[in-house]
Structure 1
Amino acid sequence: MAYSSDKHPRQTLEAINSLRKRRELCDVVLIVGDRRIYAHRVILAACSPYFHAMFTGELAESRQTEVIIRDIDERAMELLIDFAYTSQITVEESNVQTLLPAACLLQLQEIQEVCCEFLKRQLDPSNCLGIRAFADTHACRELLRVADKFTQHNFQEVMESEEFMLLPANQLIDIISSDELNVRSEEQVYNAVMSWVRYNLPERRNQLPMVLQHVRLPLLSPKFLVGTVGADLLVKSDETCRDLVDEAKNYLLLPQERPLMQGPRTRPRKPIRCGEVLFAVGGWCSGDAISSVERYDPQTHEWRMVASMSKRRCGVGVAVLDDLLYAVGGHDGSSYLNSIERYEPQSNRWTKVASMSTRRLGVAVAVLGGYLYAVGGSDGTSPLNSVERYDPRTNRWYPIAPMGTRRKHLGCSVYNDKLYAVGGRDDATELSSAECYDPRMNAWSPVVAMSSRRSGVGLAVVNGQLLAVGGFDGTTYLKTIEIYDPDANTWRMYGGMNYRRLGGGVGVVKMPQCESHLW
């Protein structure tokens, strides 16, 4: 009878590791910095091609009992030797930048892949350029590819980061030369380049002509090209830059000649299509709350029904967290709800998640820092000032600091990493007051009041500015818009819509070749 033991490899490895810890039968000591690491050559050679070559070849180290290892972090070496004996390692933010170079040196391919996978999950507009450079230094091609793609897709946020301002010129050129750069217009690329130059003007002024060659000036609007680029003193003072502007002017002014003027600077960028779709969730129809949900695909221009919620919901709060759609609270036609449902687009299924502690109709919801916030609303008795936060990792709602004012039918949005609650209605009247929540302090602080009272107000961030849209002031339905200036802590009127609107939904769409628009 043939027999193969599943326990034998694990038990053998555990026994060898015990020998190592007791320094028994160890035949080599690795000296890394100030640390002495006892080990067995056969284990190291079996796990690492680096050690295999060292101990089986003609190198001097093959005959030494103590081997000095240079250019490697002490703690990283200990973790990798532990892995050789235990098959276990923990990669985390505090050690990945020393583990990856060490794994590269020791040719531990598996650990390199684990470190790269960890870094992929950490990618963010604030760190993707650093991770990209790190991957390039250590020849991690897959991580470099993913970091490149992330940088291109999120360029509009990346260009605002400190890492972007610190880029060397050659890396900046690599990024802005890409056809896949995801920008609304070439104006953003030009503005990013000029911000980069002015960040360190004495050293970068002479690099402007070299960098500006990779901005596609012919794709700019004539007004921007002449009024902004051509009028810039840095551009006007350099002959090469002036030539680039003249080339772009000729391209724009002589459309009949454009077929003869094609080149890298006239090639349009290819914005990355995110495949985003729009969901319409619940509501009120024919005198009752409804549970149906529809999905609109902008690429096919079609509305299609998807799975219905388990509850009918009107006055429901809807938000997206981790690519999952949440329907929060509302009213089912007979009672106020504290239940929550979550929609998974891939499986076309709604599932129940933990309920809030409070029933909420007219609740405002927003996502900040990986949490779902439910702000204010009404429990059927009175408007609420309480706020709850949902953690998808624990499937639990946690109370946080309450607002200073009770509010239902309020506007809520995330702005400058804070949660803003604006307008709404309390027990007696429509509100003009506003307040913001700082998650680091778990505290609300008052914001200067709007000029108008606004219940059922729409709130959105457009081109970095917070806009309050429409609503009801207790007497009149409003079409006016107010914009908030955080530096001056003031609201000012910002024109008006064509129609008065109460409870209008607002959304921001990034339009090609122009600025963000509010819809």
Structure 2
Amino acid sequence: MDSLENSEEDHVTLLIGRNSLAVPRERLVRASDYFAAMLAPARGGFREETAASVRLTLPPWVDGGAVTALLHHVSDDAFPLVISGENAERYLIAASYLQLERITQQSATALVGSLNVDNACRLWRIGSAHHQAGLKETALRVVVKHLPALMMTDDFRECTAEELMEVLAHDDVQIVSEKELYDVVISWCRFDSATRWNEATLDSLLNELDWKQLSDVSHILSISAEEPLRSCIQRASGRIGAPSDAHPGAGAPSVPVKKKRNARRFVLFFNAVKDSLGRYALHLQLYDPRWNTLRQLHPPAALQGKDIMECGVAAGPEVLYKVRFQDTFTTVALDVVRGVWRGLPGADAVIFQRIFKPVVVGDGLYGFDRENSKKFLRVDLRTQEATPLPPPPTRRKSYGTAVIGGVIYYIGGWSVYARAVSNTVEAFHTDRGAWEACPGLVEPRRDCAAVVLEGGDLFVTGGWRVQPLRSCERLKVNEETPAWEVVGGGMKEARAEHGVFVREGRVCVFGGNSSENVAVRSMEEYDAGSGVWREMQVTAGMNNGDSETYARSWQNRTCLPIEWP
């Protein structure tokens, strides 16, 4: 192809600021609908169709240098256009304005490759403004993942109301409580109070929140006395109906029904770190399996320096902790959804302290009497009433537990009578209050961990025999004649007294004690499809402290799967 100077094609001179550029008219028409409407004969009826020169008046957000580079490339194949993360943003905006679709898409692809937390808000809004769905959705996933860190930045608060509603309604938004989304709304509105601080905007945004998950609407109202915020909160939370004169001439504002969010699944990691005086400090981290990230939670100062007798049991969205201080027992509850700690009343505390290694099924807390391990109890979490239940056929301790459809499985452990590690598995049916003998493990083990995959497969990992074990066994509970089988060839590290949870259909283990009697810091996951164990990488936070700080008890590294709507 001849260069511009030697080309005999019909040219039009484009005036861009103080610069001019002669470009083949036909090339512009083929490359862009923008120029086709302007320059093609009998297309747009514009005088530019026959003009020898045309001045391009660009809006302030379109870079003139980027436009010149793009038009050079369109007019001459010999002129290279190198799109990189450094110039892709300018090229995308310019190409979108000129309706150069191919270059717009190439620039969007380059921006996806340069995406990070610092530019995610800006690129999300650029993708939205220029109709680049791939860029927009990829950047939006980064925004909702890091929302608490981004919500106060100007890049985020400059988004439109429609874009903010996308964030609020996103199923993957990473928050610990709905209160964080409320703070996002208020911060965004105050950023431009002249145009945003009105009933119509506040109503539409506040109705995107799940007010049932907000811990204390009364407290929010008490610190939100100003109007129109107070009235909008009352309407959104169902405290009052919408007034007919809220929007004169338009009738009562429309209050949409809030869509139910997908259930949020988290795992609470905790361990009791022992100091030089023999006291335990509670370390809590919230793990999000979807994003493979950890977030630190801070227990109240009242718990620091106290002996953590049991690290907890999930009771709905609450986690109960048993604490001892100077021979006095206390029970506290952490509401993970709202981040609120509370002390339990005396009756609650006494009953909870009485249960050893409790398991929650529905409204019941099941476990063995600490003072008499032959007794098996159910505590009603609503009334705190304790009911004796039939004892298990065999008496064991240091067992693993798992729940499938209201059936509690007690797996392995230490046989009190035989004084040996056991392979016994027994199930308690909570609906009919009866025990059932189950197939025994292939290998006896105590202090093992158990978890259930979707579909009903029960897995047990690690534990002690003579030394910590690497093996993993599976029981297909729904088969006609279920039997335990060893799967996966074993974990990479032997471990006992460890945590286990499910992530994306895979069995994940972490922490515990190794054969060298030191804390295991690694995480591994087992893919039932491929039958392979592999090491997991997670963000910083798992390996706090050295091996000397870890207590060798079952309290060391434990986890609780938590789910709430």
Q: TM-score, normalised by structure 2?
A: 0.44
Larger gyration radius, structure 1 or structure 2: 2
The structure showing larger relative contact order (alpha-carbon pairs under 8 Å, at least 6 residues apart) is 2
Instruction: Answer 1 or 2: which has greater helix percent.
Output: 1
Query: Normalized per residue, which structure has more strand?
Result: 2
